[in-house]
Amino acid sequence: MPTPTWVVGSGGLLGSWVGRELHRRDVPVTTSVVPWDDPAQARAVLLDDAHRFVSTAGGGRWRVAWCAGAGVNGTTEQAFAVENAMLRDVLAGLAHAAGGSAEQGTVFHSSSAGGVYAAAPGAPHSEYSHTAPLGLYGHAKLAAESVVTEFARETGATAVIGRFANLYGPGQNLAKPQGLISHLCRGYLTGRPVSIYVSMDTLRDYLYVSDAGEMVADALARADAEPGGVTTKIFASGRSVTIGAILGACRTVFRRRPNVVLASSPLASVQGRDLRLRSRVWTDLDRRSHRPLPAGIAATLESTRRAMGRSEPPQSERPSVRSPERA
C-alpha cells in the first residue's frame, strides 16, 4: 500500500508537479488550501490539516513533502523568520498529532542549492561541499534545513532535505523576481525586454520541473525503504550552462533573439558565479533521461502562452519594464 503523502505548497511550481507524479504512481495525496498572504491564518490551517492528516494515517506510515516557500533573494529577514517559524510549528503539530513521536513519518523539505552554495569554492558542489550563502535567502534556507534536522532527531522521523538546482517549466510564478526562462518566455510573448543583472558566463544547472517531481517521488520511495536519519541530496540535471547559452537556446525556440537588457542590481552581489552541481548521494536517482533544455523551453513557452491567452508575440516591442532576473 503506497504511503499517504501530504504535499504542502501543492499550488507552487515544485509542489504541483510532485503531486502530479505521486498521483500517477497511485499514491494517496493530501493537499491544503492555505491563505499564504495571512501568516496567522495560514499557520492555523496548516496545523488543523496536520492533525487531520496524521490522524487519518491511523498509526501507519505517513509522509510530508514541504514544497512551500515564498521567499526569494530580496525578501526581508523578518519574512524569512516567519516562514521558518511556520515550518517549525507545523512539524511540531505533526509530532503532537502522532503522540509525540514521529517514527512513522517522513518529511521531505525543498531547499536551494543556489542559495546555500552561492559563495562556496571548488565547483562542482556536492552534498559534502561546505555551504557558503551570500545573502539572507541562503541563510534562511540553511536555517530551515536545521529546523527539519532537529525535528527528525528529536522525534525519530525520517527526513530528506532536497537542495534543488534552478527549477524551470510550466507553472512558474511570474510575480516572483526569479525564473529566468519563464520571464524570457513572457518577454517574447509581450515584446517587453527582460533585465538580466548577472554575467553572461554565469553557470547554472537547470532542472525541468517534471523531472524534479519524478526525482522527489523516487526520493520518498527510497526513504520508505531506508527509514530513519536525515539525508541531504542535491536535485540537479548534472548539466550546467551559461546564461549566454540559455539565451542561445531561447533564440532557437523563439526563432528570434530574446529581448534582454543588461542591468545592474544590488541583488547581483548575492549571486554565485559558478554553481555547477554534482550529487554524490543516492546517485541511482540521478540515472535518468532529463528533458533537453530546448524542449523544456518550448514547453515553458507554450504553457506561458496559454496562461496569457496569446497566440503570437506582438510585432513591435513595447516600452521596457524593469524585471530583474535571478540567475
Spatial CA neighbour of 101 closest among 110, 91, 87, 89: 91
Distances (CA, A) of 252 to 198, 256, 297: 22, 7, 10
Q: How do beta strands 203-208 and 166-168 pair?
A: parallel
User: Which residue's entry shows cell 517534471?
Assistant: 210
Confirm if 13 and 169 have CB atoms less than 8 A apart. yes
Largest CA distance in the chain: 63
Residue-wise pLDDT tens digits, 51-72: 999 999 999 999 999 999 877 7
CATH topology of domain 5-167+205-235: Rossmann fold (3.40.50)
Q: What cell numbers appear for 261 in the block?
A: 537588457
pLDDT tens for residues 91-141?
999 999 999 899 999 999 999 999 999 999 999 999 999 999 998 999 999
**Range scoring the smallest mean pLDDT among 52-61, 120-129, 175-184, 309-318:** 309-318
Average pLDDT of every residue of the chain? 91
Burial of 252 (0-12, 13-18, 19+ CB in 10 A): exposed
Percent of the chain with pLDDT over 70: 92
In the structure, what pLDDT confidence band is assigned to residue 15 with cuts at 50, 70 and 90?
Answer: very high
- For residue 31, pLDDT over 70 is answered with yes
Q: Cα 118 to the chain's mean position, in Å? A: 16
pLDDT in tens, 216-264: 999 999 999 999 999 999 999 999 999 999 999 999 999 999 999 987 6
The answer to whether the peptide bond before residue 294 is cis (omega within 30 degrees of 0) is no
**pLDDT recorded at residue 323:** 39
Output the CA–CA distances (angstroms, integers) from residue 198 to 87, 192, 195, 203, 264, in the order listed: 32, 19, 10, 10, 8
pTM of the model as a whole: 0.91
* String of DSSP letters for 208-268: EHHHHHHHHHHHHHHHHHS-SSEEEEEE--S-EEEHHHHHHHHHHHHTS---EEE---GGG
